[in-house]
Structure formats: structure tokens, C-alpha cells
Amino acid sequence: MLEYALIAGLLFGLYFSLIGLGLNLVFGVMRVVNLAHGDFLMLGGFAAYWLFTLRGVNPIFSIPIVFVAFALIGWPLYYLLVPRLQASKDPEMLSLILFFGLSQVIEACATIGFGTSEYSIPGDVLGSEPWHILNQTFPASWMVSGIASAVCIALVYLYLYRTRIGYVTRAVMSQRDEALSTGINVHAVSALAFGISLALAAVAGVLAPFMFGSIVPAMGVAVTITSFAVIVMGSLGQPLGTVLGGMVYGVALMFMQTYASSWANLLPYLVLILILLVRPTGLLGKRVRHA
């Protein structure tokens, strides 16, 4: 039981890290809260569903397809929404409202297109043989999703810490105004980060039918709130802190589901509120008010 909860928790932790990663990247780089994050995840899920049922594309191969497609959507969407926002008096707060509007629009369009019923992709397309680790059995789809999430996290790490554009991106994250004055094209860097963020959400969406069991057009808000729980635990604005938050969330969730299932939905929030009251900036955070 213990081993099962722990390993399943780590697998889900990787997946939750992937869910939160993009949201945290956007917040870190442009100080904007994308409340439509969960809706982009939902769209990614429906893209995978559509590719699978109509074109017979295995979700594994859908991952690179949706990644590129959503990165390409994110680029112009950034220029459409964010610079205008940053001209206002209180962009962080206004972004919550703007992206709430976007979330409503996406959810409405998805409902018009797909109705309100649940959609799923059979789990055995990611491998029919369950995996055995420490005498415990796990569905292949969980393992594949966990590995895919780990690969995406590793790629984001490489992007941020091993490439020049990542170096510049981190410069914008830590001091936006100074980055601007040293001649960094802040908008181009931000647009790229926005595109990558949507792409990560969409990849998480491709895996969503396996990890959540099914997808529905209205799932966006709940997913966004889960992502917040994950990134606040890990610290807002620190993309790799997300992984810590995701792990804590995943393991806590699995232990709760194993030992006290009817309280399972509660624990992640309790962990979150405890962390917030004791360490308001999250586990890795530094940023507090001066007064």
C-alpha cells in the first residue's frame, strides 16, 4: 500500500508539475496570471481526442503535434492580449480578469462544439501491459504519462538554463525593466514563453484523458485552480519550483486516496493553506511585502 501510494504519487506529481509549469512560466516572465490555463489544457485534450478518433493518431504522436500547434497559437495571442494589459495601472490584477474572460470564451466555444458530455481515449493505446514496480502494478498509461511529463520538464530546464534565449528569459524574469534597458527584446522573449506555456498546457491536455479518466469542456476552471495549488506550493514565478509543488501535491493526493478516500479532494488544499499560512511565499519563495 505504502509503496503503491508513493510511486503513484510521484507519477501524478510529475504530471501535476507539467500542468503547473506553463502557468508559472507565464507568471514569472510577464507577471500575468493566465486564468485560461486549464482551458488550453482542455483544448489540447480535445485536439488529441480528435486526432485519435478521426485520424487514428496515437496520443504519443499527438504530443509533438499539439506542442507545435499551441506554441504557434500562443505567439500571436501574446501580442494581441498582453502588451495592452501592461500599459494599464495594475496589470497583474487586470490580467486575472482579462484571462477569466478568455477562459469563458474558450469554454463556451468548446461547449458549442462538443456539448457537455465526457470524452475519453481507451487507456491501452499507450500500452496494454501494466508495469510492475516493487510488487505493485500500475497502468501503462500512468507510466507513459509520467515519463512524458518528465521529458517535458527536462526540456524546459534545458531551455531555461542551457540556451541563450533561456538565459535572456531568466533575465526578464528577475528584472524586467533592466532587461529592457540592456536592449533585450522583452516582447519577443515573452511571446516565446507564452507560446511554450500554452504548448505545455496542451501536452498535459493530451495526457489528461488518461490521468483524469476523461475530459469535458467545463473542466478548465478546476484544472486552473489545481495548477494554482501546485505553483503556489512551489513558489509563484519560479518555474522549476513547480516540480517541488507538483510532487508534494501528487504524493499528498495519492496517500489521501489510498488511506482516506473521501477526504482526498480536501488534502491538497489543506496542505496548500498550511504552507500559505506558515510560509506565505511557498516552499522556495522569497518575495514578501516590506511592511
Partner 1 sequence: MGSGCGMRNGLRHLIFVLVPVVAAFAVLPWVYSNHLLLFNFVVFLVLAQGINVIYGFTGYLPFGYVGFFGAGAYGFSLLVLHMHAPPLLALVAGALAALILGIILTPLLRLEGAYFAIATLAASEVVAQIISNPNLTNVTQGPYGIRLSGVYAPRFAYSVAVVILALTLLMVVYLRNSRFGLALQAIRENPVSASMAGVDVVRGRTIAWLLSALIAGLIGAVYAWYISVFYPETVFDLGMSIFAIVFALFGGTATIVGPISGVAILYGIYNGIGIATPQYFQLIYGTLIMALVSFLPNGLLPLLKRWGINVP
Other Cβ atoms within 10 Å of 259 Cβ, number:
12
Q: Which is nearer to partner 1, 113 or 122 (CB)?
A: 113
Of the candidate spans 4-12, 80-88, 120-128, 194-202, the one that interacts with partner 1 by CB under 8 A turns out to be 80-88
The residue within the footprint of partner 1, chosen from 81, 179, 189, 199 (CB under 8 A), is 81
Of the candidate spans 54-62, 79-87, 159-167, 191-199, the one that interacts with partner 1 by CB under 8 A turns out to be 79-87
Q: How far is the CB of 272 from partner 1 (least distance, A)?
A: 5
Q: Which is nearer to partner 1, 34 or 149 (CB)?
A: 34
Q: How far is the CB of 111 from partner 1 (least distance, A)?
A: 4
Assigned C-alpha cell, 44 = 489540447
Question: In the range 11-70, which residues lie near partner 1 by CB under 8 A?
Answer: 27, 31, 33
288 binds partner 1 (CB under 8 A): yes
Residue ranges with strand state E in the chain: 131-133, 136-138
Residue pair 229/249 in contact by the 8 Å Cβ criterion: yes
> Radius of gyration (Cα) for the chain, nearest Å?
19
DSSP codes joined into one string, 73-130:
HHHHHHHHHHHHHHTSS-HHHHHHHHHHHHHHHHHHHHHHHHTTS-B---GGGG-SSP
**What's the one-letter identity of residue 80?**
L
* DSSP type of residue 213: S
**Which residues lie near partner 1 (CB under 8 A)?**
27, 31, 33, 81, 84-85, 87-90, 92-98, 100-105, 107-109, 111-112, 221, 225, 228-229, 232, 236, 262-263, 265-266, 269-270, 272-273, 276-277, 280-281, 287-291
